Amino acid sequence: MTCEEARRQIGGEPGSMSPALREHLSGCVACARFAEETLRLEQRLHRALCEVEPTHGARAGLMRVTRRWALAASLVIAAGLAALLFSLRPSAGLAAEVVEHVKGEPASWSSTQAEPAAAVETVLHDAGVSLNDPAQVVYVRSCVFRGHRVPHLVLRTNYGPYTVMILRNVRTDRAQRFDEGGFSGMLLPATGGTLAVLALDGSHLDEVAAQVSRAVHWTR
Protein backbone atom coordinates (compact mmCIF):
# COMPACT_ATOMS: atom_id res chain seq x y z
CA MET A 1 0.00 0.00 0.00
CA THR A 2 1.33 3.44 -0.95
CA CYS A 3 1.06 6.59 1.15
CA GLU A 4 -1.48 8.01 -1.29
CA GLU A 5 -3.68 4.90 -1.00
CA ALA A 6 -3.36 4.95 2.77
CA ARG A 7 -4.42 8.60 3.06
CA ARG A 8 -7.36 8.00 0.72
CA GLN A 9 -8.57 5.13 2.89
CA ILE A 10 -8.05 7.08 6.10
CA GLY A 11 -9.92 10.10 4.75
CA GLY A 12 -12.84 7.95 3.56
CA GLU A 13 -13.27 5.97 6.79
CA PRO A 14 -11.12 7.41 9.58
CA GLY A 15 -12.44 4.93 12.16
CA SER A 16 -12.01 1.80 10.06
CA MET A 17 -8.62 0.31 9.18
CA SER A 18 -7.97 -2.68 6.97
CA PRO A 19 -5.12 -5.10 7.77
CA ALA A 20 -3.14 -3.66 4.84
CA LEU A 21 -3.58 -0.14 6.19
CA ARG A 22 -2.55 -1.17 9.70
CA GLU A 23 0.57 -2.79 8.29
CA HIS A 24 1.42 0.38 6.33
CA LEU A 25 0.91 2.61 9.37
CA SER A 26 3.17 0.40 11.48
CA GLY A 27 6.09 1.29 9.21
CA CYS A 28 5.21 4.83 8.05
CA VAL A 29 5.47 7.56 10.67
CA ALA A 30 4.03 10.26 8.39
CA CYS A 31 0.87 8.32 7.53
CA ALA A 32 0.42 7.18 11.15
CA ARG A 33 0.50 10.83 12.21
CA PHE A 34 -1.97 11.69 9.45
CA ALA A 35 -4.35 8.95 10.65
CA GLU A 36 -4.11 10.15 14.24
CA GLU A 37 -4.85 13.77 13.30
CA THR A 38 -7.75 12.78 11.03
CA LEU A 39 -9.35 10.60 13.72
CA ARG A 40 -8.87 13.27 16.36
CA LEU A 41 -10.56 15.89 14.18
CA GLU A 42 -13.45 13.53 13.39
CA GLN A 43 -13.98 12.80 17.09
CA ARG A 44 -14.03 16.48 17.95
CA LEU A 45 -16.63 17.22 15.29
CA HIS A 46 -18.69 14.22 16.36
CA ARG A 47 -18.68 15.33 20.01
CA ALA A 48 -19.71 18.85 19.01
CA LEU A 49 -22.65 17.54 17.01
CA CYS A 50 -23.77 15.16 19.75
CA GLU A 51 -23.99 18.02 22.24
CA VAL A 52 -27.05 19.30 20.34
CA GLU A 53 -30.09 17.53 21.87
CA PRO A 54 -33.19 16.96 19.69
CA THR A 55 -36.40 18.72 20.72
CA HIS A 56 -39.56 16.84 21.75
CA GLY A 57 -42.52 15.97 19.59
CA ALA A 58 -42.73 16.49 15.87
CA ARG A 59 -39.39 18.32 15.64
CA ALA A 60 -37.43 15.40 17.15
CA GLY A 61 -37.53 13.23 14.04
CA LEU A 62 -36.47 16.11 11.83
CA MET A 63 -33.62 16.92 14.19
CA ARG A 64 -32.38 13.31 14.10
CA VAL A 65 -32.33 13.33 10.28
CA THR A 66 -30.61 16.70 10.27
CA ARG A 67 -27.96 15.42 12.65
CA ARG A 68 -27.26 12.41 10.43
CA TRP A 69 -26.71 14.67 7.43
CA ALA A 70 -24.61 17.04 9.49
CA LEU A 71 -22.42 14.19 10.70
CA ALA A 72 -21.91 12.92 7.16
CA ALA A 73 -20.97 16.41 6.01
CA SER A 74 -18.61 16.83 8.95
CA LEU A 75 -16.74 13.65 8.01
CA VAL A 76 -16.20 14.95 4.50
CA ILE A 77 -14.98 18.27 5.89
CA ALA A 78 -12.73 16.48 8.38
CA ALA A 79 -11.12 14.40 5.65
CA GLY A 80 -10.54 17.52 3.55
CA LEU A 81 -9.03 19.47 6.43
CA ALA A 82 -6.80 16.57 7.41
CA ALA A 83 -5.57 16.17 3.85
CA LEU A 84 -4.84 19.90 3.72
CA LEU A 85 -2.94 19.70 7.00
CA PHE A 86 -0.90 16.79 5.68
CA SER A 87 -0.10 18.63 2.46
CA LEU A 88 1.22 21.61 4.43
CA ARG A 89 3.82 19.40 6.11
CA PRO A 90 6.09 18.41 3.20
CA SER A 91 9.07 17.60 5.39
CA ALA A 92 7.12 14.66 6.84
CA GLY A 93 4.70 13.58 4.14
CA LEU A 94 6.50 14.35 0.92
CA ALA A 95 9.84 12.97 2.08
CA ALA A 96 8.20 9.70 3.13
CA GLU A 97 6.43 9.37 -0.23
CA VAL A 98 9.60 10.03 -2.20
CA VAL A 99 11.58 7.50 -0.18
CA GLU A 100 8.83 4.90 -0.55
CA HIS A 101 8.82 5.40 -4.30
CA VAL A 102 12.60 5.13 -4.59
CA LYS A 103 12.60 1.96 -2.48
CA GLY A 104 10.25 0.47 -5.06
CA GLU A 105 13.00 0.71 -7.71
CA PRO A 106 16.10 -0.63 -5.87
CA ALA A 107 17.90 -1.62 -9.08
CA SER A 108 18.18 2.05 -10.03
CA TRP A 109 21.12 2.53 -7.64
CA SER A 110 23.25 -0.12 -9.37
CA SER A 111 23.04 1.45 -12.84
CA THR A 112 26.41 2.60 -14.15
CA GLN A 113 26.01 3.05 -17.92
CA ALA A 114 24.73 6.34 -19.32
CA GLU A 115 21.16 6.13 -20.59
CA PRO A 116 20.59 6.82 -24.32
CA ALA A 117 20.30 10.56 -24.88
CA ALA A 118 17.00 10.11 -26.72
CA ALA A 119 15.43 8.29 -23.77
CA VAL A 120 16.51 10.99 -21.33
CA GLU A 121 15.31 13.75 -23.64
CA THR A 122 11.89 12.14 -24.06
CA VAL A 123 11.25 11.83 -20.32
CA LEU A 124 12.48 15.34 -19.57
CA HIS A 125 10.63 16.93 -22.48
CA ASP A 126 7.34 15.32 -21.46
CA ALA A 127 7.79 16.82 -17.99
CA GLY A 128 8.64 20.27 -19.33
CA VAL A 129 12.24 20.33 -18.11
CA SER A 130 15.79 20.07 -19.46
CA LEU A 131 19.12 19.11 -17.91
CA ASN A 132 22.54 20.70 -18.42
CA ASP A 133 24.38 17.40 -18.76
CA PRO A 134 22.12 14.44 -19.72
CA ALA A 135 25.24 12.25 -19.99
CA GLN A 136 25.24 12.07 -16.17
CA VAL A 137 21.97 10.13 -16.23
CA VAL A 138 22.49 6.40 -15.64
CA TYR A 139 18.83 5.64 -14.89
CA VAL A 140 15.69 7.31 -16.21
CA ARG A 141 12.02 6.52 -15.82
CA SER A 142 8.76 8.41 -16.17
CA CYS A 143 6.93 7.53 -12.96
CA VAL A 144 3.49 8.30 -11.58
CA PHE A 145 3.72 10.36 -8.39
CA ARG A 146 0.67 11.98 -6.79
CA GLY A 147 -1.29 11.47 -9.98
CA HIS A 148 1.29 13.05 -12.30
CA ARG A 149 4.06 11.57 -14.43
CA VAL A 150 7.43 12.83 -13.22
CA PRO A 151 11.07 12.13 -14.16
CA HIS A 152 12.88 9.71 -11.86
CA LEU A 153 16.62 9.95 -12.53
CA VAL A 154 19.83 8.59 -11.08
CA LEU A 155 22.85 10.80 -11.73
CA ARG A 156 26.45 9.65 -11.72
CA THR A 157 28.45 12.19 -9.72
CA ASN A 158 31.94 12.45 -8.26
CA TYR A 159 30.40 11.42 -4.92
CA GLY A 160 28.52 8.37 -6.15
CA PRO A 161 24.95 7.91 -7.42
CA TYR A 162 22.25 10.41 -6.52
CA THR A 163 18.54 10.01 -7.21
CA VAL A 164 16.65 13.04 -8.48
CA MET A 165 12.86 13.22 -8.79
CA ILE A 166 11.48 16.28 -10.58
CA LEU A 167 8.08 16.83 -8.99
CA ARG A 168 5.95 19.13 -11.07
CA ASN A 169 2.88 20.55 -9.28
CA VAL A 170 4.27 19.68 -5.82
CA ARG A 171 5.13 22.87 -3.92
CA THR A 172 7.51 23.53 -1.06
CA ASP A 173 8.26 26.97 0.34
CA ARG A 174 11.86 26.35 1.41
CA ALA A 175 14.71 23.86 1.12
CA GLN A 176 14.36 21.06 3.62
CA ARG A 177 16.82 18.32 4.50
CA PHE A 178 15.60 14.95 5.79
CA ASP A 179 16.79 11.49 6.82
CA GLU A 180 14.15 8.91 6.08
CA GLY A 181 14.17 5.14 5.61
CA GLY A 182 17.93 4.86 5.35
CA PHE A 183 18.28 7.73 2.85
CA SER A 184 19.51 11.29 3.20
CA GLY A 185 17.69 13.79 1.05
CA MET A 186 16.68 17.34 0.29
CA LEU A 187 13.48 18.91 -1.01
CA LEU A 188 14.22 22.02 -3.05
CA PRO A 189 11.63 24.59 -4.18
CA ALA A 190 11.83 25.14 -7.95
CA THR A 191 10.08 27.17 -10.64
CA GLY A 192 7.64 24.45 -11.65
CA GLY A 193 7.43 22.42 -8.45
CA THR A 194 9.94 20.63 -6.24
CA LEU A 195 13.25 18.84 -6.75
CA ALA A 196 13.83 15.81 -4.53
CA VAL A 197 17.49 14.74 -4.24
CA LEU A 198 18.34 11.50 -2.41
CA ALA A 199 21.59 9.77 -1.51
CA LEU A 200 22.66 6.59 0.24
CA ASP A 201 25.55 8.60 1.71
CA GLY A 202 24.57 12.17 2.49
CA SER A 203 28.02 13.54 3.27
CA HIS A 204 28.04 15.65 0.09
CA LEU A 205 24.27 16.13 -0.19
CA ASP A 206 24.27 19.93 0.07
CA GLU A 207 26.83 20.32 -2.71
CA VAL A 208 25.12 17.89 -5.09
CA ALA A 209 21.68 19.34 -4.36
CA ALA A 210 22.95 22.80 -5.28
CA GLN A 211 24.41 21.42 -8.52
CA VAL A 212 21.10 19.73 -9.37
CA SER A 213 19.17 22.92 -8.67
CA ARG A 214 21.39 24.79 -11.16
CA ALA A 215 21.29 21.99 -13.75
CA VAL A 216 17.52 21.57 -14.05
CA HIS A 217 15.66 24.10 -16.19
CA TRP A 218 11.88 24.36 -16.45
CA THR A 219 10.86 24.87 -20.06
CA ARG A 220 7.17 25.33 -19.41
| Per-residue pLDDT in tens (0 to 9) along the chain, 220 residues | 777 677 777 777 767 788 888 888 887 777 787 788 777 777 766 666 565 555 555 556 555 555 555 555 555 555 555 555 444 444 458 999 999 999 999 999 999 999 999 999 999 999 999 999 999 999 999 999 988 999 999 999 999 999 999 999 899 889 999 999 999 999 999 999 999 999 999 999 999 999 999 999 999 8
Distances (CA, A) of 177 to 38, 70, 189, 206: 26, 42, 12, 9
Do the beta carbons of residue 44 and residue 37 sit within 8 Å? no
pLDDT of residue 86: 47
DSSP one-letter code for 125: H
pLDDT of residue 157: 95
Radius of gyration of the chain (CA): 22
Q: What ranges make up the beta strands (E) of the chain?
A: 129-131, 137-145, 148-157, 160-168, 176-180, 183-190, 193-199, 216-218
Q: Taking the model in full, what pTM does it have?
A: 0.62
